[in-house]
Structure 1
Amino acid sequence: MITIPILGLLEIDPYDGWLKSQPIEINALSGKFEFILEEYETDPQVEDFHTAVQHFLALDHTALEQAQDAIYQYYQDCCAYITPASEEYIDIPSPNQVWRHIEFGDELMVSRRAHGDNAVYISITCHCDWEPEHGLQIVFKQGLTINKIGAFDGHLSHADSYDDPRLEEMVYVPCCR
Structure 2
Amino acid sequence: MSKEIISKVIGPLQQDEDFPDWWKNTGTEIPFFNHEQLDITFMDFEPEHDAAFIEEADQALANFLQLTVEDRKSISGLVYKNCMDFLEAVGYDEDDEPLWEIKDHEEIWNFVYPSEILVSRRHRRDQKVYVQIACSCEWEQEHGLQLVFREGKQLTRVSSQDGHLTEADAYDKPDSEDELLSGN
TM-score by length of 1: 0.87
Cα RMSD after superposing both structures: 1.7
Q: Does 1:94 align with 2:128?
A: no
Higher fraction of helix: 2
Offset of residue 98 of structure 1: 0.3
- Residues 25-45 of structure 1: per-residue CA shift (max 9 Å, x gap): 111112011110111523232
Query: Does the 8 A contact of 2:41 with 2:119 survive in 1?
Result: yes
Q: Secondary structure at the match of 1:22?
A: strand
Q: Secondary structure at the match of 1:32?
A: strand
Query: Does the 8 A contact of 1:21 with 1:36 survive in 2?
Result: yes
Structure 1: how far apart are the matches of 2:65 and 2:155? 14
Structure 1: how far apart are the matches of 2:83 and 2:128? 28
Aligned residue in 1 for 2:40: 35
- The answer for unaligned runs of 5 or more in structure 1 is 172-177
Would you say how many aligned residue pairs link Structure 1 and Structure 2? 169
Offset of residue 88 of structure 1: 4.3
Segments of 4+ moved more than 4 angstroms? none
Query: Does the 8 A contact of 2:155 with 2:180 survive in 1?
Result: no
Aligned residue in 2 for 1:13: 16
- Residues 107-163 of structure 1: per-residue CA shift (max 9 Å, x gap): 210000011211000001111111111211100110112110011111110000101
- Residues 37-87 of structure 1: per-residue CA shift (max 9 Å, x gap): 11152323222111101111111112212211111111111111523x633
Aligned residue in 1 for 2:70: 62
TM-score by length of 2: 0.84
Query: Does the 8 A contact of 1:122 with 1:143 survive in 2?
Result: yes
Q: 1:132 to 1:80 in 2, by over 3 A?
A: same
